[in-house]
């Protein structure tokens, strides 16, 4: 029997936002591996399968076990919330395989099944904040030095990008978001819209609409399941929605002035 490894993104957690392909490969698999919280998101799809649950800090062990199980002939699904290729396990799997000289053409079959990431799901809840160029930054400095993260935040601030922040804070890590806010205030107005979305599409979902000036007042809503979306110079709010104009209105107005026959 030929084994296979699926790296599966199950989206924000609700089955309505899981792709058809994700459900298909999970059902096809005889073995499920993942961080316990993520495995629980698909508990109703994995009855009768062999399940390996891991703690959050056991990523390397998870990667090696998935590869070993697939090489032994198992059909394995490594499940992640969101998209496994965005701050997920896909990178570690490929790094581990590359170190062994793995050949994608004739070696172990690996397929990434993309999922709806937090940037998609959270944006959909609060309006249309990602209509123009945006940057995504994780505040976690476990794998990336804080000095490098600061440089990336500064570059995004200078470039007037809408900024999506993953992992904004934890019990031991609280200064990063504060420093990020201070950097942004050098380039953006205090009234710049900010949205904090916690537990998107889960029963625990909470949404806070605020601005850069008042962001520190909402530290109690921050955590590892929170995503922060910070607008740029064009972003505005309307009835608890964050809107970033794509530019169609000004484009069509300009064309109407230069071409009176244009109909829109």
Query: Which range of residues forms the domain containing residue 199?
Result: 119-243
DSSP state of 80: E
Shared domain check, 212 and 165: yes
Alpha-carbon distance values, 38 to 33, 77, 165, 166, 212 (Å):
9, 12, 20, 17, 32
Q: Which two tokens stand for residue 163?
A: 């900024």
The total of other beta-carbon atoms located within 10 Å of residue 18's CB is 22
Mean pLDDT of 17-23: 95
> Of 85, 101, 116, which residue is a domain's last?
116
Shared domain check, 209 and 138: yes
CATH (domain of 55)? 3.40.1010.10
Alpha-carbon distance values, 254 to 5, 23, 233, 243, 258 (Å):
52, 47, 21, 21, 6
- Residue 249 is assigned to a structural domain of this protein: no
Per-residue model confidence (pLDDT) at position 3: 94
Shared domain check, 71 and 111: yes
- Residue 248 is assigned to a structural domain of this protein: no
- Residue 193 is assigned to a structural domain of this protein: yes
In whole angstroms, what is the distance from residue 62 CA to residue 182 CA?
37
- Residue 262 is assigned to a structural domain of this protein: no
> Of 83, 116, 149, which residue is a domain's last?
116
Per-residue model confidence (pLDDT) at position 204: 86
Tell me the whole-structure pTM to 2 decimals.
0.89
pLDDT digits (tens, 9 = 90+) for 31-84: 999 999 899 989 999 999 999 998 877 899 999 999 999 999 999 999 999 999
pLDDT digits (tens, 9 = 90+) for 192-247: 999 999 989 888 899 999 999 999 999 888 887 899 999 999 999 999 999 999 86
- Residue 20 is assigned to a structural domain of this protein: yes
Per-residue model confidence (pLDDT) at position 251: 55
Per-residue model confidence (pLDDT) at position 248: 58
Shared domain check, 127 and 235: yes
Shared domain check, 201 and 108: no
Per-residue model confidence (pLDDT) at position 179: 95
Mean pLDDT of 84-112: 95
Shared domain check, 135 and 108: no
Shared domain check, 151 and 111: no
Mean pLDDT of 116-136: 96
Per-residue model confidence (pLDDT) at position 252: 53
In whole angstroms, what is the distance from residue 255 CA to residue 206 CA?
42
- Residue 260 is assigned to a structural domain of this protein: no
Per-residue model confidence (pLDDT) at position 182: 96
Domain count, the chain: 2
């Amino acid at each position: 029997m030929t084994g296979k490894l699926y790296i599966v993104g199950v989206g924000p957690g609700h089955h309505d936002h899981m792709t058809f392909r994700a459900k298909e490969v999970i059902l096809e698999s005889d073995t499920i591996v993942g961080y316990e919280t993520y495995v629980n998101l698909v508990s109703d799809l994995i009855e009768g399968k062999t399940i390996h649950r891991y703690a959050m800090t056991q990523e390397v062990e998870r990667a090696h076990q998935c590869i070993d199980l697939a090489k032994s002939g198992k059909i394995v699904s490594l499940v992640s919330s969101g998209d496994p290729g965005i701050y997920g396990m896909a990178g570690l799997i490929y790094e581990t395989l590359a170190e062994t000289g793995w050949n994608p053409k004739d070696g172990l079959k690996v397929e990434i099944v993309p999922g709806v990431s937090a940037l998609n799901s959270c944006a959909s809840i609060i309006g249309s904040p990602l209509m123009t160029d945006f940057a995504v930054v994780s505040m976690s400095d476990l794998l990336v030095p804080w000095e490098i993260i600061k440089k990336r935040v500064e570059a995004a601030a200078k470039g007037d990008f809408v900024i999506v922040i993953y992992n904004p804070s934890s019990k031991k890590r609280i200064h990063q978001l504060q420093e990020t806010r201070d950097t942004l205030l050098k380039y953006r107005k205090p009234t710049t819209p900010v949205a904090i979305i916690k537990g998107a599409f889960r029963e625990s979902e909470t949404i806070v609409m605020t601005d850069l000036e008042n962001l520190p007042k909402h530290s109690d809503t921050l955590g590892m399941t929170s995503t922060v979306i910070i607008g740029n110079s064009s972003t505005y709010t309307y009835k608890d929605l964050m809107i970033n104009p794509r530019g169609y209105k000004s484009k069509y107005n300009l064309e109407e002035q230069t071409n009176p026959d244009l109909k829109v």
